[in-house]
């Protein structure tokens, strides 16, 4: 059973970007640092003056784990989840797609997209040298 992630007023711009396959991150205009996940105030300085900037979709693998299917999902598959250090600064919890046999910390990753039922897409990552099929 797939459940599309909820949209809040704070995350609406982020999710609108995914409809166009664009990763858009918040930036604090005081700290000049990127922020992820979307929120109303900067977690570092508390500033509420945030803006949205596109991200190129490059990062490095920080860690990963296999998430088993839900106990009540007879047809579910394991999901590879990863913590990705985006080149823009923040760390993002996401899915890792594609071949995973050569995983190691600090491997270069690139953005790829997993379509959702409502027209949005989930930003995921794959090894930078993997052939993109999405």
Give the containing element (helix H, strand E) for 50. Answer: strand 50-55
pTM to 2 decimal places: 0.86
Residue 24 has pLDDT above 70, yes or no: yes
Mean per-residue pLDDT of the chain: 90
- Whether residue 18 is predicted with pLDDT greater than 80 in this model: the reply is yes
Contact (Cβ atoms closer than 8 angstroms) between residue 121 and residue 19: yes
Which of 78, 83, 92, 90 is closest to 64 using CA atoms?
83
pLDDT of residue 100: 81
Buried b (16+ CB within 10 A) or exposed e, 72-108: eeeeeeeebebebbbebebebebbbbbeeeeeeeebe
- The per-residue pLDDT for 2 is 59
Average pLDDT over residues 108-133: 88
Work out the number of other CB atoms within 10 angstroms of the CB of residue 115. Answer: 12
């Amino acid at each position: 059973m797939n459940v599309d992630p909820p949209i809040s007023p704070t995350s609406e711009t982020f999710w609108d970007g995914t409809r166009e396959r664009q990763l858009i991150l918040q930036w604090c205009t005081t700290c000049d640092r990127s922020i992820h996940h979307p929120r109303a105030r900067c977690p570092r300085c508390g500033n509420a003056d945030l803006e949205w900037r596109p991200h190129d979709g490059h990062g490095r693998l920080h860690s990963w784990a296999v998430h088993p299917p839900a106990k009540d999902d007879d047809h579910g598959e394991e999901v590879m989840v990863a913590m990705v250090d985006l080149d823009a600064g923040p760390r993002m919890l996401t899915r890792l797609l594609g071949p995973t046999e050569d995983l190691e910390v600090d491997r270069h990753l690139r953005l790829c997209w997993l379509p959702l039922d409502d027209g949005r897409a989930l930003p995921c990552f794959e090894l930078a040298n993997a052939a993109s099929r999405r």
